[in-house]
Amino acid sequence: MVPDPDGPAQPGPALDEPEETSAEAPALTRIRAVVLAALGPLLMGYLVVAALLALVVTTAANTTFGATGVLVAALPGWLAAHQVPVRISGLELGVLPLLPTAGVVAITAITAAGAAARLGLHRPGQAAKLVAVTAAAHGITGMIIAGLMSRGDVTADPLSALYYPALVSGLAALAGVARRCGLLDAIVHRADEAAVAGLRAGALAVVLLLAAGGALLTFGLLASIPAARELFPAGAGDAIGVLLLSIGYLPNAMIAATSFLAGPGVSIGAVTVSPAGFDAGPVPALPLFAALPEQEAAWWHLLFGLPLAVGVLIGRRLRSVDEDPVMRLRAVAVAAGVVAVTFVVLGGSAGGHLGRGPFDPVSMHAAASSVALVLWTAVPAAVATWFGGPRPAMRRLPGLIDDEPGQVIAEEEPAPEPADETEATEATEEEEPSEVPGPRDAVEESGEVARD
In a structure prediction context, what are the per-residue pLDDT tens digits for the chain, which is 452 residues long?
444 444 444 444 443 433 333 444 577 878 888 888 888 899 998 999 888 888 877 776 666 667 788 888 899 999 999 999 999 888 888 899 999 999 999 999 999 998 888 888 888 888 888 899 999 999 999 999 999 988 888 899 999 999 999 999 999 999 999 888 888 888 878 888 889 999 999 999 999 999 999 999 999 999 999 988 888 887 777 888 889 889 999 999 999 999 999 999 999 988 999 998 888 888 888 899 999 988 888 899 999 999 999 999 999 999 988 888 899 999 999 999 999 999 999 999 999 888 777 888 899 999 999 999 999 999 999 999 999 877 765 544 455 444 444 454 444 455 555 555 555 455 444 544 544 454 445 445 444 444 44
Whether 108 maps to a domain, the answer reads yes
Task: Tell me how far apart the alpha carbons of residues 134 and 112 are, in angstroms, rounded to a whole number.
Answer: 8
- Residues 163, 252 within the same domain: no
Whether 185 maps to a domain, the answer reads yes
Q: Give the pLDDT confidence score for residue 173 in this predicted structure.
A: 93
Number of domains within the chain: 2
Structural domain of 126? 27-189
Q: Give the pLDDT confidence score for residue 92 in this predicted structure.
A: 87
For residue 4, CA distances in Å to 1, 250, 284 come to 9, 77, 91
Q: Which of 179, 48, 169 is nearest to 114 (CA)?
A: 179
Task: Tell me how far apart the alpha carbons of residues 430 and 193 are, in angstroms, rounded to a whole number.
Answer: 60
DSSP 8: P
Task: Tell me how far apart the alpha carbons of residues 93 and 34 are, in angstroms, rounded to a whole number.
Answer: 34
How many residues are recorded in the chain? Answer: 452
Q: State which of 144, 164, 189 marks the end of a domain.
A: 189
Q: State which of 159, 189, 219 marks the end of a domain.
A: 189
Q: Give the pLDDT confidence score for residue 157 in this predicted structure.
A: 92
- Residues 249, 338 within the same domain: yes
Neighbours of 272 (CB within 10 A): 18
Packing angle, helices 67-81 and 99-119, rounded to 10: 80
Is 180:113 a contact under the CB 8 Å cutoff? yes
- Residues 76, 135 within the same domain: yes
- Residues 210, 354 within the same domain: yes
Whether 448 maps to a domain, the answer reads no
- Residues 131, 234 within the same domain: no
For residue 167, CA distances in Å to 103, 112, 136 come to 15, 15, 9
SS3 362: strand
Whether 309 maps to a domain, the answer reads yes
Q: Which of 28, 41, 27 is nearest to 133 (CA)?
A: 41
- Residues 375, 236 within the same domain: yes
SS3 443: helix
- Residues 175, 210 within the same domain: no
Sheet bearing 362-363, strands edge to edge:
277-279, 271-274, 266-268, 362-363
Whether 431 maps to a domain, the answer reads no
- State the burial class of residue 159 (Cβ atoms within 10 Å of its Cβ: 0-12, 13-18, 19+): exposed
Q: Give the pLDDT confidence score for residue 65 in this predicted structure.
A: 66
- Residues 250, 262 within the same domain: yes
SS3 249: coil
Task: Tell me how far apart the alpha carbons of residues 144 and 303 are, in angstroms, rounded to a whole number.
Answer: 47
Whether 253 maps to a domain, the answer reads yes
Is 27:40 a contact under the CB 8 Å cutoff? no
- Measured at the CA of 105, the angle between CA 102 and CA 106, to 5 degrees, comes to 85
Q: Which of 144, 111, 105 is nearest to 39 (CA)?
A: 111
Q: Give the pLDDT confidence score for residue 241 in this predicted structure.
A: 84
Question: For 80, phi and psi rounded to 5 degrees?
Answer: -65, -35
Q: Give the pLDDT confidence score for residue 150 in this predicted structure.
A: 85
- Residues 198, 344 within the same domain: yes
Neighbours of 84 (CB within 10 A): 24
Q: How far is CA 432 from the centre of its chain?
A: 74
- Residues 234, 140 within the same domain: no
- Residues 103, 157 within the same domain: yes
Task: Tell me how far apart the alpha carbons of residues 39 and 47 are, in angstroms, rounded to a whole number.
Answer: 12
Whether 81 maps to a domain, the answer reads yes
Whether 146 maps to a domain, the answer reads yes
For residue 367, CA distances in Å to 259, 264, 301, 343, 345 come to 10, 10, 20, 8, 9
Reported in sequence order, the residue ranges of 295-415 that DSSP labels E, i.e. its strands, are 362-363
Q: Specify the pairing of strand 154-156 against strand 91-93.
A: unpaired
- Residues 59, 164 within the same domain: yes
Q: State which of 357, 388, 419 marks the end of a domain.
A: 388
Cis peptide before 361 (omega within 30 of 0): yes
